[in-house]
């Protein structure tokens, strides 16, 4: 009986030690890193840390500095993501990134909600500019 309990305990410990992506059938994490007014990076990888490392590298390669390339959003599992371009009255602009949505429709609703009070926030432009699926496929408008 003791050996059966030991085997059971080892089995449970092994299952708990497996990486999350192996348990989730190969799901991917997504990370969006941004250096405002300079550069950004977006990556999907098997785990969150790898996605962040990749996105930071892309941000730096695009002209951002290591200090300025900051994590804007990360999700595991990545699901559907939306990149929302925002521009304030006077010129400053940035991207807001929302991830982890179960469908492209929900990701687009998140963008719609983020832009719903654009005028009150002195935004002269607010629009979804890109949808990204969990595999990193990017879709540009129109999102029909």
- The predicted model scores a pTM of 0.78
Contact 92, 122 (CB under 8 A): no
Classify 106 as helix, strand or coil. helix
Question: For residue 84, what are its two tokens?
Answer: 């929302």
Q: Tens digit of pLDDT for each residue in 47-83?
A: 999 999 999 999 999 999 999 999 999 999 999 999 9
Q: What are the helix (H) ranges across the chain?
A: 2-17, 20-23, 48-61, 104-115
**Tell me, what's the pLDDT at 25?**
72
């Amino acid at each position: 009986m003791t050996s059966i309990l030991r085997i059971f305990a080892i089995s449970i410990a092994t299952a708990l030690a497996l990486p999350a992506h192996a348990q989730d059938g190969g799901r991917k994490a997504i990370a969006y890193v941004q250096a405002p007014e300079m550069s950004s990076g977006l990556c999907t990888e098997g785990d969150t840390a790898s996605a962040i490392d990749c996105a930071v590298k892309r941000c730096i390669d695009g002209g951002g500095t290591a200090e300025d390339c900051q994590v804007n959003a990360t999700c595991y599992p990545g699901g559907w993501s939306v990149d929302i371009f925002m521009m304030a009255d006077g010129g400053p602009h940035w991207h807001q990134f929302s991830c982890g949505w179960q469908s492209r429709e929900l990701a687009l609703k998140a963008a719609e909600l983020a832009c719903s009070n654009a005028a009150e926030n002195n935004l002269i432009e607010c629009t979804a500019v890109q949808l990204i699926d969990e595999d990193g496929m990017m879709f540009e408008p129109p999102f029909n």
